[in-house]
Chain A
Amino acid sequence: MDAANGMRGSTLIAIILGLLLGLAAGIGGYTFLYAKGASYLTNDPAACANCHVMQSQYDQWLVSSHRSVAVCNDCHTPPGFIPKYFTKALNGFNHSYAFTTGWFHEPIQINERNRQVTEQACRKCHENIVQAIEGPHRPGQELSCIRCHSTVGHF
Chain B
Amino acid sequence: MTVDARTRRTSRTGRNVLDEIAARRRADVRSLAVSLTSLIGTAVDAIAATPPPRPVVERLAAPGLHLIAELKRRSPSAGAIATDGDDLVARARAYEAGGAAAISVLVEPHWFGGSIDDLRAVRAAVSVPVLAKEFVVDALQLPLLRAAGADVVLLLAALHRPKELGRLVEQALRIGLEPLVEAHDEREVRAAVATDARLIGLNNRDLRTLEVDTERAVRLRPLVPDDRLVVAESGVRDAATIAAWRAAGFDAALVGETLVRAPDPAAAARSFVAAGAHPGDLANRANEALVKICGIVDADGAGAAVRAGADAIGLNLVPGTPRALPAEEATALARLVREIAPADRRPRIVLVTVDRTTDDINALARAIGADAIQLSGDEPVSVLDGLVRPAWKALHLPAEGVAAPTATGAAAADEISARARAWLAAGAERILLDTAGGPHPGGTGVRAAVDLAAAVARDVPVVLAGGLTPATVGPALREIPAVGVDVASGVERLGPRKDGERPRKDPLRLALFAKRARAARTDRPNLAVRPAPIAPGLLEADARGRWGTAREFGGRYVPETLMAALEQLERAYADLRNDPRFWAELRTLLERYAGRPTPLYRADHLAELALAAARTLATAAGRPDVVPARLRLYLKREDLAHTGAHKINNALGQALLTRRLGKTRVIAETGAGQHGVATATACALLGLPCVVYMGAEDIERQQPNVLRMRALGAEVRSVTSGTATLKDAINDAMRDWVTNVETTHYVLGSAMGPHPYPTIVRDLQRRIGDEAAVQVQADEGRLPDLVLACVGGGSNAIGLLDRFIGEPSVRLAVAEAAGDGIATGRHAAALAGGSPGILHGARSLMLQDRDGQVLEAHSASAGLDYPGVGPQISALYAAGRLEIAAATDADAFAAMQDVTRAEGILPALETAHAFAVLPRFLAGFEGSGAPLPAETVVLVGLSGRGDKDLASFGRWRDAHPEAAE
Do the two chains belong together in a single complex?
Answer: no
* Residues of chain A whose beta carbon lies under 8 Å from any beta carbon of chain B: none
